[in-house]
Each structure stands twice: as structure tokens, then as C-alpha cells.
């Protein structure tokens, strides 16, 4: 069906506020990734799910960041007590096969988060 979708597309938060970012991967895709992209930089890995299992969260910058994918489809990235340095575009990507395969990752349009 359609590609990866993300919502909201834009989010303005006051410092200290909690935010939740949603990702709808391509239907049937096993793998789901979250990346953070600062302005003018390449994306940086945050976390990886294979179905509902979070297999790698080594890129999460602090314990204020939490991600889940409870039913192996939609995923939510939650940031607690947002700080100004959290301002970035948060990209979600999905791929058909699990880790180790040669599958391409397909990206969503991202959520642009601005923390004031």
C-alpha cells in the first residue's frame, strides 16, 4: 500500500513538555527504525524493532527517550521532559526483512520537532 507515514509532521513543544511521535510503517514490514536528523546533518540511528521486539536501542541519547511497537506494526517514539537539544527531524524507516537481510529501508517524511 502506501509508504511510511508519520504524525504529526510538525510539533512545537515547550521545554519540559512530553511529546509522542507516531510512525506507520509499510504494511507487512518486519523491521522498523527510528533516526534523528539535525539540520544539515545525516540521520543518526536511535533504535530498531523486529516485529514488536526492540532489538537495539543503543542510539537513544538519554533515558528521556522511549520507543515502543506493541503489536509489531505502529510505533511511537516518546520524549519526556523535552530539552532544546532535542529539536531535530525524527525519521522512521521500515524494511521487509529482519536484520541481516539485504532489504532497503524506506523512510517516512519525518516529524520536525522544535523545542522552545
Selected binder of another protein within 59, 64, 74, 76 (CB under 8 A):
59
If the CB atoms of residues 16 and 102 are measured against another protein, the closer one turns out to be: 102
Q: Interaction with another protein in 27-46: which residues (CB under 8 A)?
A: 31, 33, 35, 40-45
Q: 104 to each of 60, 87, 90, how far by Cα in Å?
A: 22, 27, 19
Sign of the dihedral through C-alpha 44, 28, 21, 71: negative
Q: What cell does 21 get? A: 511521535
Does residue number 109 form part of the binding site for another protein (CB under 8 A)? yes
Radius of gyration of the CA atoms of the chain, in A = 13
Chain residues that interact with another protein, rule: CB under 8 A: 3-4, 31, 33, 35, 40-45, 48, 55-56, 59, 91, 95, 98-102, 104-110
Amino acid at each position: 500500500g502506501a509508504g511510511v507515514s508519520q504524525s504529526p509532521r510538525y510539533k512545537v513543544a515547550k521545554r519540559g513538555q512530553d511529546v509522542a511521535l507516531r510512525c506507520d510503517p509499510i504494511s507487512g514490514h518486519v523491521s522498523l527504525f527510528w533516526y534523528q536528523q539535525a539540520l544539515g546533518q545525516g540521520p543518526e540511528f536511535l533504535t530498531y524493532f523486529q516485529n514488536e521486539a526492540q532489538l537495539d536501542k543503543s542510539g537513544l541519547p538519554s533515558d528521556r527517550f522511549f520507543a515502543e511497537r506493541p503489536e509489531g506494526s505502529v510505533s511511537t517514539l516518546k520524549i519526556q521532559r523535552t530539552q532544546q537539544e532535542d529539536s531535530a527531524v525524527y525519521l522512521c524507516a521500515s524494511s521487509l526483512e529482519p536484520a541481516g537481510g539485504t532489504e532497503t529501508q524506506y523512510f517516512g517524511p519525518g516529524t520536525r520537532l522544535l523545542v522552545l
